């Protein structure tokens, strides 16, 4: 592939956005037809998008992206939201996978203890206000951690749900006002592609997948999924909610939209 023009990065003291929609469009065109590893070598190895981290849930298919990342830079920061509500199997899987892949940049992000004491003293907010629980335990800790990064890698795939079906590889992160770039390296991978890659590289599966959990989040808000159902249909079952909020666009006022705004 021909050498690409560098993407303009704003100085950190500039209050304007790091990236614009035009930058995302140009990157999507630049890497049209490129395979995933070629793209990752450019954005990780060549520093094409500035300071970069990957956000991982260490869920059902996380091993694929983490393995790809480890082939380019095993020291890349890997941000994990330690909500205090994960399945024990997820925490063990995180530790096993980090050791297996030689990842040295793991960062466990925990909610603010004072905020938890004030707004979720019982630890049961998930049962009556899952948006508020996600806000405290996921959205706010991640927003704080991402202040020093220009771009993030995600593990989202188009086949996972209707809300992800048309996502591009590169997009501007509209969940805050910083103009951070969000990169979805596996967006065009199918379930068969993932399974083949896992088999080829002998990657360990998340232990809960075999028990009927194709999408795994916090234990109180994750249920088993029947064959043929949307892989994410077990998340927040019974609630009008499909995302935790970290991938949710802000309104023009800089707030989460209705359905994600916690009822504090």
pLDDT class for 221, splitting at 50, 70, 90? Answer: confident
pLDDT-derived band at 232 (thresholds 50, 70, 90) equals low
Write out pLDDT tens, residues 142-157: 989 998 899 999 988 8
Quick count: other Cβ atoms within 10 Å of Cβ 198?
A: 16
Six token digits for residue 78: 């890997």
The contacts of residue 79 (CB under 8 Å, 6+ apart) are 53, 54, 55, 56, 107, 109, 142, 145, 146, 152
Main-chain phi, psi angles of 17, to 5 degrees: -70, 145
* pTM across the whole model: 0.80
pLDDT score, position 220: 82
CA distance 73 to 234: 33
Most confident of 111-115, 167-171, 224-228: 111-115
Residue 236, pLDDT score? 58
Q: How much is the pLDDT for 255?
A: 42
48 pLDDT higher than 60? yes
- DSSP state, 172? E
Query: How many angstroms separate the CA atoms of 19 and 6, rounded?
Result: 12
| Strand 78-81 with 52-55, pairing | parallel
- Of 237 and 180, the one with more pLDDT: 180
Residue 161 has pLDDT above 50, yes or no: yes
pLDDT score of 230: 66
Describe the crossing of helices 62-72 and 88-101 by its angle, rounded to 10 degrees. 30
| Known catalytic residue at 133 | no
Q: Which is more confident, 159 or 77?
A: 77
Please identify which of the residues 134, 218, 221, 244 carries the catalytic annotation: 244
Buried b (16+ CB within 10 A) or exposed e, 106-120: eeebebeeeebeebb
**Integer Cα distance of 217 and 232 in angstroms:** 10
Q: What is the pLDDT of residue 89?
A: 95
Please, what is the end-to-end C-alpha distance for the chain in angstroms? 51
Between helix 191-200 and helix 62-72 the angle, nearest 10°, is 60
Average pLDDT value for the chain:
81
Whole-number pLDDT of residue 176: 66
Q: Kindly state the percentage of the chain with pLDDT values over 70.
A: 75
With 80 as the cut, is the pLDDT of residue 233 above it? no
- Which pLDDT score is estimated for 103? 98
The answer, yes or no, to whether residue 138 has pLDDT greater than 60, is yes
Instruction: Using the predicted structure, report yes or no on whether residue 72 has a pLDDT greater than 50.
Output: yes
Q: What is the DSSP letter of 128?
A: T
Q: Cα(100)–Cα(225) distance, rounded to whole angstroms? A: 28
Residue 204: other Cβ atoms inside 10 A: 11
**127 versus 37: which is more confidently predicted?**
37
pLDDT attached to residue 261: 32
Q: How far apart are CA 167 and CA 172, in angstroms?
A: 11
CA nearest neighbour of 182 among 215, 149, 220, 205:
149
């Amino acid at each position: 592939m021909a050498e690409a023009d560098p993407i303009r990065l704003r100085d950190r003291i500039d209050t304007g956005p790091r990236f614009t929609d035009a930058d995302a469009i140009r990157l999507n065109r630049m890497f049209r037809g490129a395979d995933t590893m070629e793209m990752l070598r450019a954005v990780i190895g060549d520093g094409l998008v500035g300071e970069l981290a990957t956000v991982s849930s260490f869920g059902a298919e996380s091993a694929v992206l983490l393995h790809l990342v480890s082939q380019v830079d095993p020291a890349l920061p890997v941000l994990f939201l330690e909500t205090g509500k994960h399945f024990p199997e997820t925490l063990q899987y995180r530790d096993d996978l980090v050791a297996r892949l030689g990842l040295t940049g793991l960062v466990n992000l925990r909610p603010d203890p004072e905020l938890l004491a004030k707004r979720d003293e019982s630890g049961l907010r998930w049962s009556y206000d899952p948006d508020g629980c996600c806000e405290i335990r996921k959205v706010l800790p991640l927003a704080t951690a991402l202040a020093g990064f220009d771009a993030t890698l995600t593990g989202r795939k188009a086949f996972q749900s209707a809300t992800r079906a048309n996502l591009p590889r590169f997009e501007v992160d509209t969940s805050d006002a910083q103009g951070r770039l969000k990169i979805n390296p596996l967006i065009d991978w199918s379930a068969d592609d993932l399974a083949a890659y896992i088999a080829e590289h002998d990657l360990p599966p998340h232990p809960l997948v075999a028990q009927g959990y194709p999408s795994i989040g916090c234990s109180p808000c994750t249920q088993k999924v029947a064959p043929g159902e949307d892989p994410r249909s077990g998340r927040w079952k019974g609630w009008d909610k499909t995302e935790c909020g970290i991938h949710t666009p802000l309104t023009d006022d800089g707030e989460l939209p209705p359905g994600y705004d916690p009822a504090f």
